[in-house]
């Protein structure tokens, strides 16, 4: 008989979820601001099956300042959770996404930043989930059949968007979206976070942080 049994989860890939209370007035203002950008031609239509995308400077526009404050607060909490050492952090990109019927977003990540996030302004029923993909290439060497899906045997995690929901995740974590099968538009605002200052590793011989179990 075993004296004891335990499970140690190594190298977790976390996604942080924040729900904004009383989000309706905020979302109404954001919808107007995004639609004004779209109407004045300040954006473009994707060529990879996605919908319309704005410019990446929304965090510098007054109409998006209330949302930017939530982004800063959420990022501060995540960086504290991760115990990273740095001098400053900032939003380096922020843009709106409108996906109409049949539109999706292919698998991708966000280079040149440390965290990425998305906030959902408008989410019609069947508007399409966001999908996070297993970042471990070795995990696909052999994939047996499974009797029941659990966090320890799945290769994709589907998260249903909701109005007022903000997600943050490591920028390297690949993700995609399902096609929007509704007759409405899914509107989200994405953003990237970068840090500056703090200690730096000099040369490849400096080891990354580790922990003895």
The tens digit of pLDDT for each residue in 62-121 reads 999 999 999 999 999 999 999 999 999 999 999 999 999 999 999 999 999 999 999 999
**pLDDT digit string (tens) for 24-62?**
999 999 999 999 999 999 999 987 877 999 999 999 999
Closest by alpha carbon to 163, among 132, 192, 131, 127? 127
Q: What is the pLDDT of residue 120?
A: 98
- Measured CA to CA, the distance from residue 97 to residue 53 in angstroms comes to 5
pLDDT value at position 208?
Answer: 64
Distance CA 150, CA 127 (A): 25
Is domain 30-135+154-167+177-196 given the CATH code 3.40.30.10 in the classification?
no
Return the bridge partners of 166, or none. Answer: 18, 119
Average pLDDT in the 3-28 region?
96
Helix (H) or strand (E) holding 132: strand 130-133
pLDDT given for residue 47 in this prediction: 79
DSSP 124: -
Task: Say whether 197 sits in a helix, a strand or coil.
Answer: coil
Look at residue 204 in the predicted model and tell me its pLDDT.
52
213/210 Cα distance (integer angstroms): 10
CB-hemisphere CA count at 13 Å for 141? Answer: 4
Q: How confident is the model at residue 150 (pLDDT cuts 50, 70, 90)?
A: very high
Q: Are 104 and 128 in contact (CB under 8 A)?
A: yes
């Amino acid at each position: 008989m075993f004296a004891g049994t335990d499970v140690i989860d190594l190298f977790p890939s976390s996604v942080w979820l924040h729900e904004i209370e009383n989000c309706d007035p905020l979302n109404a203002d954001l919808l107007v601001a995004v639609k004004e950008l779209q109407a004045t031609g300040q954006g473009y239509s994707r060529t990879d099956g996605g919908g319309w995308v704005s410019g990446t400077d929304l965090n510098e526009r007054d109409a998006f300042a209330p949302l930017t404050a939530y982004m800063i607060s959420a990022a501060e909490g995540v960086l504290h959770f991760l115990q990273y050492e740095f001098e400053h952090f900032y939003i380096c990109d922020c843009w709106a996404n409108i996906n109409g019927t049949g539109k999706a977003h292919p698998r991708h990540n966000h280079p040149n930043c440390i965290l990425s996030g998305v906030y959902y302004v408008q989410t019609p029923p069947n508007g399409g989930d966001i999908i996070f993909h297993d970042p471990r290439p070795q995990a696909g060497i052999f994939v047996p059949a499974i009797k029941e899906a659990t966090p320890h045997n799945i290769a994709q995690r589907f998260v249903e968007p909701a109005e007022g929901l903000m997600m943050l995740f490591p920028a390297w974590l690949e993700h995609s979206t399902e096609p929007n099968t509704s007759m409405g538009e899914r509107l989200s605002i994405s953003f990237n976070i970068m840090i500056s200052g703090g200690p730096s590793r000099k040369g490849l011989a400096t080891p990354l942080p580790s922990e003895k179990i």
